[in-house]
Amino acid sequence: MSRPVTEDDLQAYVDDALDPARREDVARYLAGHAEVAARMRDYAAQRQALRTAFAPGGTAPLPPRLNLLRLLEARMTRRRTLWRTAAAILLSLGVGGAAGWLARGGPPVSRTDRAMILLTEQALASHAVYAVDPRRPVELDADARDDLAQWLSNRLKRPLAVPDLMAAGYALLGGRLLATERGGAAALFVYADRQGQRASVLLRPMAPELRAPPREDRSGRVSVCAWIESGLGYAVAGALPDETLDELADRVRASLRAPD
Same domain, 119 and 242: yes
Q: What is the pLDDT of residue 75?
A: 53
- The answer as to whether 82 is a domain residue is no
Residue 166 contacts by C-beta under 8 Å, 6 or more apart in sequence? Answer: 172
Q: What is the pLDDT of residue 102?
A: 44
- Cα 99 to Cα 102: distance, rounded to the nearest angstrom: 5
Total domain count, the chain: 2
- The answer as to whether 46 is a domain residue is yes
Residues 21-52, buried b or exposed e (16+ Cβ, 10 A)?
A: ebeebbeebbeeeeebeebbebbebbbbbbee
Same domain, 121 and 239: yes
- Cα 80 to Cα 17: distance, rounded to the nearest angstrom: 33
Domain end call among 39, 57, 75: 57
Q: Which of 106-110, 156-160, 240-244 has the lowest mean pLDDT?
A: 106-110
Same domain, 135 and 249: yes
Same domain, 51 and 118: no
- The answer as to whether 153 is a domain residue is yes
Same domain, 52 and 118: no
Q: What is the pLDDT of residue 43?
A: 67
pLDDT, tens digit, 9 for 90 and up, residues 186-242: 999 999 999 999 999 999 999 999 999 999 998 888 999 999 999 999 999 999 999
Same domain, 231 and 136: yes
Same domain, 247 and 157: yes
Angle between helices 68-92 and 34-54 (to 10 degrees): 170
Confidence of residue 60 (pLDDT cuts 50, 70, 90): very low
- The answer as to whether 66 is a domain residue is no
Same domain, 38 and 125: no
Cα dist from 224 to 102, 214, 245, whole Å: 27, 10, 8
Range of the domain at 12: 7-57
Q: What is the arithmetic mean of pLDDT over 157-186?
A: 91
Same domain, 52 and 153: no
Q: What is the pLDDT of residue 57?
A: 44
Query: Is 85 or 48 the better-scoring residue by pLDDT?
Result: 48
Confidence of residue 1 (pLDDT cuts 50, 70, 90): low
- The answer as to whether 74 is a domain residue is no
Residue 47 contacts by C-beta under 8 Å, 6 or more apart in sequence? Answer: 14, 15, 125, 128, 129
Q: What percentage of the chain has pLDDT greater than the value 70?
A: 72
Same domain, 30 and 136: no
- Residue 186 falls in which region: left (phi positive, over 0), alpha (psi -120 to 50) or beta: beta
Q: What is the pLDDT of residue 54?
A: 47
| Helix (H) / strand (E) containing 199 | strand 198-205
Confidence of residue 109 (pLDDT cuts 50, 70, 90): low
- The answer as to whether 41 is a domain residue is yes
Q: How many residues does the chain have?
A: 260
Name, of 29-38, 47-56, 87-96, the range with top average pLDDT.
29-38
- The answer as to whether 50 is a domain residue is yes
- The answer as to whether 17 is a domain residue is yes
- Supply the CATH number for residue 174's domain: 3.30.200.100
Q: What is the pLDDT of residue 65?
A: 46
Q: What is the pLDDT of residue 39?
A: 77
